[in-house]
Amino acid sequence: MTTTSPSSVVATPAAVAGSPRSPLAHLGTMVAFTLRYNRIRLIVWLLLTVGMVAFIGSYYKGLDPQALQELIIAGRVPSMQSLLGWITAAAPGSAPLGAAVWIKSWMFVSLMLGIGMVFLVTHNLRADEDTGRTELFRSRPLGLHSSLASTLIMTVGLCLIAAIGIGAVGVAQQYGATLGSTSGGDPDPLGSWVFGASIGAVGLIGIGVGVLTNELMSTSGGANGLGAAILGLFYIVRMGTDIQNGDLTWISPIGWAEKMDPWSHNLMWPLAAIIALTAVLIGVGWMIEARRDYGGSLFAARPGHASARRWMTSVTGLAVRLQRTAWIGWAVGIAVFALMLGSITPMMADMFKSADIGGVDASSMLAVIGFLLSMISLGVCSFAVYSTSTMALDDAHGLLEHQLSGAVSRVGWALKRLAVSFVGTLILLIILCKVYALSYGAGMNDFGDFWTITALAFAFVPSMLVLMGVVVLGFGWWPRQAVAIGWALFGALWFIMILGQVLKLPEDVLNAMPFFSAATTLANGPDWATLIVTAIVGLAMIVIGLIGFRRRNVPA
Amino acid sequence: MSGNAIEVVGLTKHYGSFHALNGLDLTVEAGGVTGFLGPNGAGKTTTIRILLGLLHADGGTAQVLGGNPWTDAVELHKRLVYVPGDVALWPNLTGGEIIDVLGRLSGGLEKSRKTAMLERFQLDPRKKAKTYSKGNRQKVALVAALASRAELLILDEPTSGLDPIMEAEFQSCIREIKGEGRAVLLSSHIFSEVEKLADSVTIIRDGRSVESGTLEQLRHLTRTHVRAGFATNSDALAQVNGVYDYYDDKGEVTFSVDHDQLPNVLAAVAALSPTALVVNPPSLEEIFLSHYEDTMSPAQAAAVRGEMK
């Protein structure tokens, strides 16, 4: 028994969808909101990019020319070039300060900015849609594309400001100065602007990739993971060719930014290519957004199983099931990376020049390999930080109280979760070392070092325990800050690793830090004292953290 | 305003092979509250999202405040306001900030009205959203909506998580809104709320409307419930024309009666000298559930009937 008849106005068919009018309505309000919502992140990003370059530059400026040259030579070693990229200005007679700063910071800062932009885009787009916040906004007079547009304005603006900031720092610190003429001024200020632009360009790539993955994936985890994987692929692709300044570097968009070659060729047209690529990626994302339903994506979530399989229903099994996808992504990425790195190491052996790295006589290949793998193992152990922090995240999302209401003791639960993190990361480390050793041995036709290199994985265990320990410590005593504390320590170790002597830490302290202590293991044998002490520190933090967890409120 | 606030005819929407909406009709008149009822998964939220221009419909027509909900979304949203069923907020903003941001997008909120609503619903606007309980999150969305002067309110389970006092506050707000001549679409599982507020009701099942009309009209479709106590044997009542589901529980007798047979049946009851008598009009719950009896198992149906005695 329906009521009234249709009104006198001709009813417009719902299915005939024209484009929505005013797709950018209230863009101004959204931009203001987005900027305010992200204000701390924006400041941090500017500090991490411009600040880091300025810091490195000011240190190098204080070195005498000879020391600077040695640093550059150390950086032009093929192993370093594959990881950090290749720059023409490092050739003698060009711009030693600029070259040194580039070698030290370019790959790291630009990759960080690129991946960071993927995460920032997801934080503002898919994350809000995934949780339902966007629904509230879209029920108001907000244009269909206003959210995307305001996110773009913010991120592109950030990359632009970072690029200009870095360029300005370069001009101020005279990166273009030629050898021995630090008082003679900077003959190539353009080089600094190109330097800044090349870093900003990688940020733009990250924005484009991020917008696309946000439209492809239905969850923020999916968007972040796919975006990081794509950028990782771009990085790995140019690894092999960079040893010899190969032309294949041009295959990767990161390679385009690299080839802008500040202080020598000073090419700006790769920037135009990157802008075009970013515009295309954003355009595709824009078109998908115009057509899709709210909450939809190109790859939709598929239904799963009706009942849990037996192995999933224990604490350990559940943790494995939940972290499985991330772990597999990590494992595949690490395996590919190790394969690549191992296969180009023999090429390095041919081109090897003696230099001082970390206090060890670097004519030994093992020392180089040990150093390389130590650096990478820190990256691998980010999985340990992520996995351990899921405990704190469960707490924050109310999942912990649910689990603890079951027949499981607090410490028992925590230990099982830690076991999953520990074993998971250990397997990743073994994959790293084993695959590398296989690839290296195959390239050298000599598997003599295979077991030594594989065993190196265990030398990283104490350092892994320290990383996990910090998160557990936070989880027990400052649960709301636990995740931040863990990543802060990780970031600090990463900075120390990258900046190395720039921080002027005493040699002994540096070698005692986690991951550094393992660096010399291959060449000199394990430094048992440091490894054991590091392990004890890590375990102690875990124990203290668990004590805190046992006595505190849940949720905190 | 001429015409209806919402006019939906034959709306369809499918996801692959699954038909979320299968020919839905819905009308919301200005100055009235229309209840929108249906079991979980019937298509209520899908319908509302189409009306908000968030989803594409695949067929049929939908008109909101005289305009097309998809293409005219921005214009129409200036005149309507929405409360979602499950409110998600930005964790580090305070409730007050979120209300202001939402209000600003709609052209601004009157400060006095906002303060009054915060007062009525006892919401502290200075607390960060991540510290709010479920009910308080709901209140943030409610205050943002009720403090506005929008012509049309679209409410999807707006009081889920609210305590009875807040529920009463909400109902009095809606009555005021009705008095101002504004329109409300209220989707709810709380029958008492819909019974008290709604002028008309549409029941949706499996993506199509199965019943629609005023409560009075709907009541005439079902039977009146009678509970009586007798000193003597009253089995004769079971044979009277128009009496159904006669059940004698040690002297307390229950049965339902067709509307048009009510006079004869009451006469028969009076003839037997009842010691107690309670007559209930059919509740919205009964009307609602009568549409689902054939999909419920016999055990479910019995349990439900037992609860409604």
Residues 126-155 of A with CB under 8 A from B: 128, 131-133, 135-144
What is each CA distance from B55 to A135, B73, B204, in whole angstroms? 11, 11, 19
**Residue A502's pLDDT is what?**
64
- Compute the nearest-CA separation of A28 from chain B (Å): 10
**Rounded to whole angstroms, how far apart are CA atoms B168 and B171?**
5
B131 in contact with chain A, both atoms CB, cutoff 8 A: no
Q: Write out pLDDT tens, residues A302-354.
A: 778 888 888 888 889 989 998 998 899 899 989 988 888 887 777 666 555 44
Residue of A nearest to B75 (CA): A141
- For residue A142, list chain B residues with Cβ-Cβ distance below 8 A: 74, 77, 105
Average pLDDT over residues A441-451: 79
* Residue among A6, A17, A131 whose CB faces B56 most closely: A17
- For residue B81, list chain A residues with Cβ-Cβ distance below 8 A: 139
Q: Name residues whose C-beta falls within 8 Å of residue A80's C-beta, 6 or more positions apart in sequence.
A: A74, A103
Where are the domains positioned within chain B?
Answer: 6-216, 219-307
Answer yes or no: is pLDDT of A363 > 50. no
Q: Write out pLDDT tens, residues A90-130.
A: 666 677 888 888 888 898 899 999 999 999 999 999 999 98
Cα A408–Cα A413–Cα A416 angle in degrees, nearest 5: 130
Confidence of residue B308 (pLDDT cuts 50, 70, 90): low
B63 in contact with chain A, both atoms CB, cutoff 8 A: yes
- Compute the nearest-CA separation of B101 from chain A (Å): 8
Answer yes or no: is pLDDT of A146 > 90. yes
Counting residues of chain A whose pLDDT is more than 90, the rounded percentage is 42
A363 in contact with chain B, both atoms CB, cutoff 8 A: no
Q: Write out pLDDT tens, residues B50-90.
A: 999 999 899 999 999 999 999 999 999 999 999 998 899 99
B2–A2: do the CB atoms touch at under 8 Å?
no
Closest CA to B26 of B40, B14, B38: B38
- Whether the CB-CB separation of A274 and A204 falls below 8 Å is answered with yes
Q: From its phi and psi, is residue A261 left (phi > 0), alpha (psi between -120 and 50) or beta? A: left
A37 in contact with chain B, both atoms CB, cutoff 8 A: yes
Q: Write out pLDDT tens, residues A18-44.
A: 788 888 989 999 999 999 999 999 999
Q: A479 or A447: which carries more pLDDT confidence?
A: A479
**Rounded to whole angstroms, how far apart are CA atoms B289 and A38?**
49
**C-alpha B6: how far from its chain's center?**
16
Average pLDDT over residues A267-295: 93
Answer yes or no: is pLDDT of B305 > 70. no
Q: Write out pLDDT tens, residues A240-258.
A: 777 666 677 788 899 999 8
* Residue among B62, B88, B105 whose CB faces A29 most closely: B105
Q: For the domain made up of B6-216, give the CATH fold.
A: Rossmann fold (3.40.50)
For the stretch A74-87, what's the b/e string if a residue is b when 16 or more beta carbons lie within 10 angstroms of its beta carbon?
bbbbbbbbbbbbbb
Q: Tokens 């003679």 — which residue? A: A184
Which DSSP symbol is given to A217?
B
Q: Name residues whose C-beta falls within 8 Å of residue A302's C-beta, 6 or more positions apart in sequence.
A: none
Answer yes or no: is pLDDT of A360 > 50. no
Average per-residue pLDDT in chain B? 88
B77–A142: do the CB atoms touch at under 8 Å?
yes
Average pLDDT over residues B89-112: 90
**Residue A348's pLDDT is what?**
64
A14–B50: do the CB atoms touch at under 8 Å?
yes
A2–B209: do the CB atoms touch at under 8 Å?
yes
**Residue B96's pLDDT is what?**
93
Answer yes or no: is pLDDT of A11 > 60. no
For the stretch A469-481, what's the b/e string if a residue is b when 16 or more beta carbons lie within 10 angstroms of its beta carbon?
bbbbbbbbbbbee
- For residue B14, list chain A residues with Cβ-Cβ distance below 8 A: none
**Residue A353's pLDDT is what?**
44
DSSP-derived 3-state class of residue A297: coil
**Residue A401's pLDDT is what?**
82
Q: Name residues whose C-beta falls within 8 Å of residue A327's C-beta, 6 or more positions apart in sequence.
A: A383, A387, A424, A428
Average per-residue pLDDT in chain A? 84
CB-facing half-sphere around the CA of B172: CA atoms within 13 A: 8
B219-307: CATH homologous superfamily? Answer: YebC, transcriptional regulation domain (3.30.70.980)
Answer yes or no: is pLDDT of B307 > 70. no
Q: Write out pLDDT tens, residues B111-163.
A: 999 999 999 999 999 999 988 999 999 999 999 999 999 999 999 999 988 99
Q: Write out pLDDT tens, residues A528-543.
A: 888 899 999 999 999 9
- Whether the CB-CB separation of B285 and B191 falls below 8 Å is answered with yes
A5 in contact with chain B, both atoms CB, cutoff 8 A: no
**Rounded to whole angstroms, how far apart are CA atoms A175 and A164?**
15
B61–A14: do the CB atoms touch at under 8 Å?
yes
**Model-level pTM?**
0.83
Residue of B nearest to A8 (CA): B3
- Compute the nearest-CA separation of A211 from chain B (Å): 20
Q: Write out pLDDT tens, residues A164-205.
A: 999 999 998 888 877 655 556 677 888 899 999 999 999 999
Residue of A nearest to B133 (CA): A398
B74–A13: do the CB atoms touch at under 8 Å?
no
